[in-house]
Amino acid sequence: MARITILEGATFCISDERGDIAEPTDGFFEADTRFLSRLVLTVNGASPLRLSHGRVEYYSAAWFLRNPPVGGLASDEVSIERRRFVGRDMQEHVILTNHAGHPVELEVGLEFGADFADIFAVKAFDAALGDPGRALPATPVPPRFDPSENRLVFATGDGFRGETQVLLSHRGEVEGGTVRYRVALEPRGRWSLRIDVIASTDGVRVPARTAERRFGEELDRIQESLAVWHLRVPQLRGSWDDLGHAFDRSVSDLAALRMRGGDGAGQLPAAGMPWFMAVFGRDTLITCLQTLLFGPELAVAALHTLAGLQALEDDPEIDAEPGKIVHEVRHGRGAEAWFPRYYGTIDATPLYLILLSEVWRWTDDVDLVRSLREPALRALGWIENFADLDGDGFVEYRRRSSRGLENQSWKDSGNSQRFAGGRLAEAPIAPAEAQGYVYDAKLRVAELAREVWRERELSERLEREAAELARRFDEAFWVDRRGGYYALALDRAKRPVDSLCSNIGHLLWSGIVPPERADAIVDRLMGDELWSGWGVRTMSTADAGYNPLAYHNGTVWPHDNSLIAWGLARYGRWQEAQRIVRRIIDASTWFDHELPEVFAGFARVETPFPIAYPTATRPQAWAAGTPVLLLRVLLGLEPDPSRHVLVSRAPEELPTWAGSLRLSGLRAFDLAWDVRLEESRVTVDAT
C-alpha cells in the first residue's frame, strides 16, 4: 500500500491511503522520535473504503472515504473526509456527511497509540532494510485520560521526558487508547471532530485553547514561508516540458525539506524524507551548491548553522577534531540511539569552504565572508593539521568512534571501497574525490584571502599547496590500465584502490585533473562500463564488486551525475555534459519528475525505463537539487565576480532538443537576471 508523507521541517507524518497510522514504519515524528505510532479510524468497527487521497501541500494532506456496508449502513451512505496538517505538531479534522435520504446512526472509532521509538529503530524495522538486530517496542505506552482537558496523554516513564498529548474537540467514550463516538446524522447532516496531536520533549502540557491558537499561528507561518519561497525562486518557462516539470518538482520538494537552522540562521535543507530530516553536513552543503540559482538564502543559513556546529575539541567517540564540520545532527530518541552530533565525514569540511566561496562569487557579500573568517580558518586548520593522518599530503579517514561510520566519504556504505578484484580496502582510506575537494577549497580560500581578507601571504601559501597537491595526486592516484583513470582511493598501504568509479567525475568538477588527462577521464565516464544510458554508474561493470542494485557499487545517483556534468562543462566537454542533462531529466519522467536518491544501474538498452532502487529516499535534497544544477549546466551559467555580472559559458549553439526557455527572476550581485534560450543560443540580461 502506498504511503502518504507530509512534513514541516523536522516534523513529519507517514500514513496509508486511508490516512491511518497503522503499519510498523508509519507514525508522527518529531525530534527523531515517533510520538504517535497508531491512529486508526473505523466506522461501525470497520475501516472506511477509499475514494481518493493526496497531498495538498507538503505540510497537508486529505483523504476522501466512504462507509462500508456494515452495522446497518448501506454502501456509500456516509462520506468521510480527513484533512491533516503538520506544523510543529499535527492537527486532523474528520468530517462525516450523510448522503442518504433518511437519518443514520453509526459509531466512529479512533485508536491511538504511542511507542516513542527512535527513528533508527523504525527505519531498521522496515523489512526491506533487512536489519533484524533492532526491534521496535513490543507494545505502545498505555495512555492516561485527562477529563478536564479531554485529552489522552502518553508518556514513557523511562527517563525520557517526552509526552504525546491528543486533544479531542468532543468528549467520547474512552477505553485505553480507543475513543468511540455515537453519531446520529439527519439527511445531509454533518458531524466533525478536531484532533490535535502535540509532541512535547520536555513534558510541558499545552492547554486546549492555547493549542488551537498555536495551530492557527503555525499554519499562517508556514503558508507565509511557502509564499515567500515561491517569490524568491526564479520562474522557468520553456518548450522542454520534462525539464520544466522536474524543475517545478525540485522547487516543491526543496520547500518541503527546509528546516530551521540554529540561532535564527534561517532555513536550510534537511537531507531527505523520511529518515534523514536532519542537518547532514555533506548533503546540506552539496544541495546548497546545486541550488544557488534559487538565491543565497539556503546557503547562507547552512554556512551559519554549520559554523555553529563546528567541532572545537578532539572527541574520538564522535570522530570530532577541532575545525571539523559536522556530519549529522540528531535529537530526542534518535540522539540516544546514535549521537546528538556526529562528525564522521572526510568531505564536509572542504565542501564548507567551497560553498562559502561560491556564495561570495554569486553575491560579492564581503560581510558574510568576513563574519565567517574564523570558522573558515578553523576548517582549513582541520584539513592541514588533522585530516592528513600520516603526513603524506593527502586527507584520509579512519573511524575512531566505537560505533560510527567505517566509510566516511559520500560512498559511506560498508562495502563501497573495493579494489577492482573485489577485495575491500582497509583504513586509513584517502578517497580520490576528497583530494579534489581540498584542492578546490585551497584555491577558493586563497581567492577569499586575497580579495576579501587582504591576507596575501596566506593566499600565496594556499596556491602553492594546491599546486603541489595536484602534482602529487596525479602521481599517486593515476592508474595506467583500461585506458587510464584515477583510482577510487588509496588504502592504508598507499595502494591505489583501482576500481573504476564515478568519483573521477568529481575530480573534473574540482579542477584537479590536468588538461592532458581530461580526455581519458571523459572517455571512461562515457564508456559502456560506467555509462548506463540513464546516467553514470557509481562503479564500472568490469569491476568484481559491480552490482546494479548495490547502493554505491553500480547504481546511478542523480546528484553524482549533476556534479559530473558540472565538471564536464568546466573542462569544455559540452556534448557529454548535455548528454547527462538530457538522460537524467528523461529518467525523472519515470518517477513523476521527482528524482529519487538513487536508481539501479541496469543498461538502458536492457530496460525500457530506469529501475527503482527499493529503499531510495524521496524527496531527497541533493536529488531534488539535481535538475536545478543541470539547468545551470545546460545554460552554462556562471558568476563573474570581477565584473559583478552573470554570464553564460555555454557553446554558441545548444542542441535542438533543449528547445526554447526563459528563466526569469534569477538573482546575482543584488540584481535580477533574465536568461533566455532561443534558436539554440543563450542570452543573459540584467532586468
Q: What is the pLDDT of residues 115-125, one digit of tens each?
A: 999 999 888 87
Q: Looking at the structure, do residues 641 and 538 belong to the same domain, yes or no?
A: no
Residue 542 lies in a domain: yes
Structural domain boundaries, residue 569: 516-621
Tell me the C-alpha distance between 584 and 587, whole Å.
Answer: 5
Query: Where is average pLDDT lowest: 65-74, 127-136, 288-297, 404-413?
Result: 127-136
Q: What is the DSSP letter of 132?
A: T
Q: Which of 590, 593, 595, 577 is nearest to 658 (CA)?
A: 577
Instruction: Report the DSSP beta bridge partners of residue 236.
Output: 663
pLDDT digits (tens, 9 = 90+) for 78-100: 999 999 999 989 999 999 999 99
What does the pLDDT read at residue 6?
85
Please state, for a pLDDT cut of 90, what percent of the chain lies above it. 86
What does the pLDDT read at residue 592?
94
Tell me the C-alpha distance between 40 and 488, whole Å.
Answer: 50
Question: Where is the domain boundary, 564, 587, 621?
Answer: 621
Q: Is 548 helix (H, G, I), strand (E, B) or coil?
A: coil
Residue 615 lies in a domain: yes
The 671-678 sheet, strands edge to edge = 235-238, 661-668, 671-678, 681-686
pTM of the model: 0.94
Tell me the C-alpha distance between 371 and 549, whole Å.
Answer: 45
- If one compares 222 and 135, the residue with the highest pLDDT of the two is 222
Q: Looking at the structure, do residues 611 and 649 belong to the same domain, yes or no?
A: no
Q: Give the contacts of 312 (CB within 8 A, at least 6 positions apart).
A: 322, 378
pLDDT digits (tens, 9 = 90+) for 415-462: 999 999 999 999 999 999 999 999 999 999 999 999 999 999 999 999
Q: Which of 623, 586, 626 is nearest to 607 (CA)?
A: 586
What does the pLDDT read at residue 363?
98
Give the C-alpha distances (Å, rounded to integers) separating 12 from 337, 339, 432.
19, 21, 37
Q: Looking at the structure, do residues 98 and 192 belong to the same domain, yes or no?
A: yes
Tell me the C-alpha distance between 98 and 76, whole Å.
Answer: 9
Q: Looking at the structure, do residues 524 and 641 belong to the same domain, yes or no?
A: no
Q: Looking at the structure, do residues 197 and 147 belong to the same domain, yes or no?
A: yes
Q: Write down the mean pLDDT value for the chain.
A: 94
Question: Where is the domain boundary, 200, 222, 244?
Answer: 222
Q: Which of 107, 127, 87, 118 is nearest to 7 (CA)?
A: 87
What does the pLDDT read at residue 455?
98
Please state, for a pLDDT cut of 70, what percent of the chain lies above it. 97
Residue 628 lies in a domain: no
Q: Looking at the structure, do residues 15 and 125 belong to the same domain, yes or no?
A: yes
Give me the amino acid identity at 601: G
Q: Is 45 helix (H, G, I), strand (E, B) or coil?
A: coil
Residue 239 lies in a domain: no
Q: Looking at the structure, do residues 613 and 640 belong to the same domain, yes or no?
A: no
Residue 321 lies in a domain: no
Helix axes 281-290, 626-635, angle to 10 degrees: 40
- If one compares 369 and 203, the residue with the highest pLDDT of the two is 369
Query: Where is average pLDDT lowest: 442-451, 589-598, 612-621?
Result: 612-621
Tell me the C-alpha distance between 321 and 388, whole Å.
Answer: 12
pLDDT over 90 (residue 275):
no
pLDDT over 50 (residue 338):
yes
Q: Looking at the structure, do residues 95 and 175 belong to the same domain, yes or no?
A: yes
pLDDT classification of 30: cutoffs 50, 70, 90: very high
pLDDT over 60 (residue 529):
yes
Q: Give the contacts of 576 (CB within 8 A, at least 6 positions apart).
A: 522, 525, 526, 568
Question: Where is the domain boundary, 182, 202, 222?
Answer: 222
Residue 55 lies in a domain: yes
How many independent structural domains does the chain possess?
3
**Mean pLDDT to the nearest integer, 244-258:** 95
Q: Looking at the structure, do residues 60 and 204 belong to the same domain, yes or no?
A: yes
Tell me the C-alpha distance between 530 and 542, whole Å.
Answer: 9
Give the C-alpha distances (Å, rounded to integers) separating 382 from 347, 486, 489, 532, 610.
11, 25, 20, 38, 41
**Mean pLDDT to the nearest integer, 23-45:** 95
pLDDT digits (tens, 9 = 90+) for 308-321: 999 999 999 999 99
Contact by Cβ (8 Å): 541, 467: no
CB atoms within 10 A of CB 652: 7
pLDDT over 50 (residue 129):
no
Q: Is 320 helix (H, G, I), strand (E, B) or coil?
A: strand
Residue 214 belongs to domain with CATH number: 2.70.98.40
Q: Looking at the structure, do residues 90 and 215 belong to the same domain, yes or no?
A: yes
Which secondary structure element, helix H or strand E, spans residue 523, and what is its range?
A: helix 515-526
Q: Looking at the structure, do residues 603 and 673 belong to the same domain, yes or no?
A: no
pLDDT classification of 135: cutoffs 50, 70, 90: low
What does the pLDDT read at residue 136?
66
pLDDT over 70 (residue 127):
no
Q: Which of 323, 374, 312, 373 is nearest to 345 (CA)?
A: 323
Which secondary structure element, helix H or strand E, spans residue 526, and what is its range?
A: helix 515-526
Q: What is the DSSP letter of 387?
A: S
Q: Which of 593, 530, 592 is nearest to 561 (CA)?
A: 530
Q: What is the dihedral angle through the alpha carbons of 687, 286, 244, 256, rounded to the nearest 10 degrees?
A: -100
pLDDT digits (tens, 9 = 90+) for 139-174: 678 999 999 889 999 998 777 888 999 999 999 999
C-alpha cell at 30: 518529531
Residue position matching grid coordinates 568519483: 503
Residue 209 lies in a domain: yes
Give the C-alpha distances (Å, rounded to integers) separating 74 from 45, 69, 107.
15, 5, 14
pLDDT digits (tens, 9 = 90+) for 625-650: 999 999 999 999 999 999 999 999 99
Q: Looking at the structure, do residues 577 and 641 belong to the same domain, yes or no?
A: no
Which residue blocks in 233-345 are alpha helix, DSSP H? Answer: 241-257, 281-290, 297-309, 332-337
Contact by Cβ (8 Å): 396, 430: yes
Residues in the chain: 687
CB atoms within 10 A of CB 16: 19
Residue 137 lies in a domain: yes
pLDDT over 50 (residue 406):
yes
